[in-house]
């Protein structure tokens, strides 16, 4: 059904392999997919360790570890990892979870959606080099769907436990020496749905927020349970296909709409109006951090991150307006911009940018469709912006389908609030800043009383 000629767009919540299979089957389909991930929580020596255990156990084993946002990788700073008391408390907390039929009121971990198979079954039954069982999972009551939590200690970088999403009640634990090392280990998975940090140190929180590549960030709280608008939901990397406008956020519906520009008499006025609109949208929306609720004890920020390796593709039918506005929007959003153009169109691109008084500069490279397709397959392009759907070459579509590179081909518009959506990724950050109800130095802030 997905590959049928009458299907224009697909919204998917599922696996990365499923999304790629859909794209390869029909490269020109509009696919909007949230595809799970290898979600990690980092616990530093500056964490409240009891709070960390509570949040990690809830994140890893609530719903049997079958939520797409569940923590399946735990990274502990050396001081915490080497503390036998922390390990004991973590394992005791996981061991205390009551596993049983969903019909029993005392059950806190019910049956899995199906008997474990493939990578999940292997993870529940075997260890990789360097690993040991801190808590051995076991089948309950002879039911192949009922499993107690499992905790693997000593997970090694680049191992299956490090990189593969199991989607079940298995938690892998890794050791790190510095926060930068931990951030690198998390980003190496290639996924980027949710990520957690347990630390009371403001400096560590800022370092982590700047380095982690994930759509939903959680500080000193569980990584599951996103609420509409409070924590709009969606990921990055292998956790996202399409433009990634977050579900439950103010932009989600925009990606399914087709906007029509209002006519402006003179082309020069049209470009000037677009640049002014882009500047206004940046100042009011895209370069601003938003908290719509201002809850007492909890920050919920929504912000935009510029796309890295953003490529603007020029077609022979592109107008000066379509060239100038795309480059201006990408630069305003903070992207690393590369303008890709057939060799015979490079002079037009330079002229279009020069016509704006030299206020906008960009790197321009001569590139055929075949060259562009090769760079996409090589993974050097994060996102491509075309000026129209019918200007995307078939070989470029096919190349993008091989690895899920997002091709944005909506018409270019002068409205900055719309156009800028194609050059950014949204990120949600949720921080419990209270400690057991104590607001500390922030007690005098004007906040909402409840959610």
The catalytic residues are: 34, 68
- The neighbour count for residue 357, using CB atoms within 10 Å, is 7
Q: What is the CA radius of gyration of the chain?
A: 24
Distance set, CA 40 to CA 75, 113, 191, 224, 390 (Å):
7, 22, 10, 12, 41
Long-range (24+ apart) CB contacts under 8 A made by 250-258 are 251/421, 251/426, 254/418, 254/421, 255/32, 255/421, 256/9, 256/32, 258/410, 258/411
Beta-carbon contacts of 141 under 8 Å, excluding residues fewer than 6 positions away, are 100
User: What's the rounded Cα separation, in Å, for the pair 31 and 25?
Assistant: 12
Nearest to 235 by CA among 58, 4, 14: 14
How would you class 134 by CB atoms within 10 Å of its CB: exposed for 0-12, middle for 13-18, buried for 19 or more? middle
Beta-carbon contacts of 351 under 8 Å, excluding residues fewer than 6 positions away, are 320
Cα 183 to chain centroid distance, Å, stands at 15
Give phi and psi for 13, each to the nearest 5: -115, 110
List beta partners, residue 428.
216, 302
Long-range (24+ apart) CB contacts under 8 A made by 390-398 are 391/313, 391/315, 391/317, 391/318, 392/28, 392/313, 393/369, 394/27, 395/369, 395/370, 396/313, 396/369, 396/372, 397/27, 397/28, 398/27, 398/373
Tokens representing residue 30 in the block: 């509009």
């Amino acid at each position: 059904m997905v590959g049928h000629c009458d299907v224009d767009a697909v919204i998917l919540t599922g696996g990365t392999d499923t999304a790629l299979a859909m794209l390869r089957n029909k490269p020109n389909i509009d696919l909007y997919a949230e595809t799970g991930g290898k979600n990690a929580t980092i616990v530093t020596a500056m964490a409240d360790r009891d709070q960390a255990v509570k949040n990690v156990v809830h994140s890893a084993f609530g719903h049997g570890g079958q939520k797409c946002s569940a923590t399946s990788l735990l990274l502990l700073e050396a001081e915490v990892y080497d503390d036998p008391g922390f390990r004991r408390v973590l394992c005791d907390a996981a061991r205390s979870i009551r596993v049983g039929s969903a019909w029993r009121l005392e059950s806190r971990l019910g049956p899995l959606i199906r008997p474990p198979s493939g990578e999940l079954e292997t993870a529940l039954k075997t260890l990789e080099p360097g690993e040991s069982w801190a808590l051995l999972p076991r089948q309950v009551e002879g039911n192949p769907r009922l499993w107690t939590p499992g905790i693997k200690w000593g997970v090694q970088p680049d191992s299956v436990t490090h990189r593969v999403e199991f989607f079940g009640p298995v938690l892998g634990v890794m050791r790190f020496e510095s926060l930068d090392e931990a951030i690198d280990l998390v980003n190496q998975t290639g996924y980027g749905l949710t990520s957690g940090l347990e630390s009371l140190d403001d400096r560590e929180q800022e370092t982590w927020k700047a380095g982690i590549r994930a759509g939903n960030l959680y500080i000193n709280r569980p990584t599951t349970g996103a609420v509409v608008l409070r924590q709009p939901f969606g990921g990055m990397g292998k956790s996202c296909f399409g433009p990634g406008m977050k579900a439950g956020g103010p932009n989600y519906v925009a990606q399914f709409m087709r906007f029509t520009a209002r006519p402006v008499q003179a082309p020069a006025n049209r470009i000037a109006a677009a640049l002014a609109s882009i500047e206004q949208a940046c100042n009011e929306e895209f370069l601003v951090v938003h908290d719509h609720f201002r809850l007492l004890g909890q920050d919920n920020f929504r912000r935009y991150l510029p796309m890295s390796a953003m490529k603007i593709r020029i077609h022979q039918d592109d107008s000066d307006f379509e060239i100038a506005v795309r480059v201006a929007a990408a630069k305003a959003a903070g992207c690393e911009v590369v303008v890709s153009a057939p060799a015979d169109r490079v002079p037009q691109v330079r002229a279009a940018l020069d016509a704006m008084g030299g206020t906008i500069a960009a790197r321009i490279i001569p590139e055929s469709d075949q060259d562009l397709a090769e760079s996409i397959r090589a993974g050097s392009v994060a996102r491509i912006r075309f000026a129209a759907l019918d200007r995307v070459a078939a070989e470029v579509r096919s190349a993008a389908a091989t690895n899920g590179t997002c091709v944005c081909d909506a018409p270019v518009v002068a409205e900055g609030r719309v156009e800028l959506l194609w050059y950014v990724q949204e990120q949600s950050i949720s921080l419990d800043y209270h400690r057991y109800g104590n607001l500390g130095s922030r007690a005098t802030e004007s906040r909402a009383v409840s959610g």
